[in-house]
Amino acid sequence: MLDVVRLKKHYRVAASALFGKRESRAVKAVEDISFAAREAEVLAIVGESGCGKSTLAKVLLGLETASEGLVVFDHEAIQNQPVESRAVKTIASIQMIFQNPFDTLNPSYSVGSQIVRTLERFRVGVNMSERRDIMLRLLDLVKLPRAFASRSPRQLSGGQKQRIGVARAFAGRPRVIIADEPMSALDVSVQAAISELLMSLQRESKTTMVFISHDLSVVRYLADRVAVMYLGHIVEMGATEQIFTPPFHPYTEALLSAIPIADARVKKRHVVLEGEIPSALSPPKGCPFQTRCGHKREVPGDLCEREMPPTRTVAEGHTILCHLPVETLKRMEPVFA
């Protein structure tokens, strides 16, 4: 459904004056990533803040254009098409559910009128009466009373606002939904209801969903496949159960160790990363994770510090970006027992 091939997104920023000359440098937000999102699947993109997840989403939506590489949707390369120049069909087909529901609704208009405006923009329905009927059905779809159509956003809770965001995203019958941490701004008690709603709608409509998150416990429940990002690179990709079972990338191992576990019967290994995340303005040479990797000493010849690791297949459909020998990967232990 969506093919991303060797995609890069760099931002030019002004650096301080050196020897009287003003120079600019590149922030490498997304660096040489490739993946394919299949029809009707949920592909999760996970990683800590600053790894490039949201920048990737903006390129897919057309809010940013790519520096290099390809994004192919419906047999058309769209990586250099800003959203204002995209066809209405393409805009309606790739929609986003934003992270903060409090900023995505216009406080001056009723909820119903904003959904109707979305339908009008996507050319859904032939007249106002038909669009109003569709709007009411969308409220039914996200399990909100039809009376909410006349309410203003300030009369809604955070969870109700996010349901309206979901209704607007599905208004144009999209083929791809990009959900950028859609539950992170909500109370824990509301997060489960929104995740259930998303999965129900995704299954019924068979929409492809790119689910961006930093919460692996939610991802394990929602996703069919997972791509782990670190400093602009995809360092591991595979089916959800493969990501949670060794061998895994040392960074994935640390992410799994950070999942809070309420069950006292479950034993968890604690993996503590040393140092700070390197800057995308000045990424390290060699492996992007080598400055924080506890397994680096197991690779001979300072290879991690000198060369970018190749993408290696460790099982069918399971790849990692790592120099670790096969023997070391096979000796990895599960994080949970």
* Window from 1-10, 193-202, 267-276 with minimum mean pLDDT: 267-276
Residue 18 is predicted with a pLDDT of 47
**Structure confidence at residue 249 (pLDDT):** 94
What percent of the chain has a predicted confidence (pLDDT) above 70? 97
Q: What is the pLDDT of residue 280?
A: 85
Residue 17 has a pLDDT of 47
Domain CATH code at residue 232: 3.40.50.300
334, pLDDT greater than 70: yes
Mean pLDDT of 252-259: 91
Instruction: Say if 139 falls within a structural domain.
Output: yes
Name the band, by pLDDT with cuts 50, 70 and 90, for residue 102: confident
For residue 66, the number of C-alpha atoms closer than 13 Å in the C-beta half-sphere is 24
Domain contains 189: yes
Residue 148 lies in a domain: yes
User: Given its phi and psi angles, is residue 301 left (phi above 0), alpha (psi -120 to 50 degrees) or beta?
Assistant: left
309 inside domain: no
Residue bearing tokens 């406080």 = 107
**pLDDT at position 23:** 65
Residue 272 — pLDDT band, cuts 50, 70, 90?
confident
300-333 pLDDT, tens per residue? Answer: 888 999 999 999 999 999 999 999 998 888 899 9
Cα gap 5→33, rounded to integer Å: 7
> Residue 15 has what pLDDT?
62
Structural domain for 178, as ranges: 2-236
Q: Evaluate if residue 90 carries a pLDDT over 90.
A: yes
Residue 262 forms part of a structural domain: no
Averaged pLDDT, 92-96? 95
Q: Alpha-carbon distance 321 to 310, whole Å?
A: 6
pTM: 0.92
Is 208:2 a contact under the CB 8 Å cutoff?
yes
For 115-145, letters b (16+ CB in 10 Å) and e give bbbbbeebebbeeeeebbeebeebbebbebe
pLDDT at 148 over 50: yes
Length of the chain: 337
Confidence of residue 20 (pLDDT cuts 50, 70, 90): low
200-219 pLDDT, tens digit each: 999 999 999 999 998 888 89
Q: Indicate the number of domains in the chain.
A: 1
234 has a pLDDT exceeding 60: yes
Q: What percent of the chain has pLDDT over 90?
A: 72
Residue 44 has, within 13 A of its CA and on its CB side, a CA count of 26
pLDDT of residue 165 exceeding 60, the answer is: yes
50: left (phi over 0), alpha (psi -120 to 50) or beta: left
Q: Please tell me the distance from the alpha carbon of residue 202 to that of residue 209, in angstroms, as a whole number.
A: 7
Is residue 302, in this structure, part of any structural domain at all?
Answer: no
Q: Is residue 331 part of a domain?
A: no
Residue 264 placed within a domain: no
pLDDT tens figures, 167-185: 999 999 999 999 999 988 7
pLDDT at 336: 87
Structure confidence at residue 21 as a pLDDT band (50, 70, 90): low
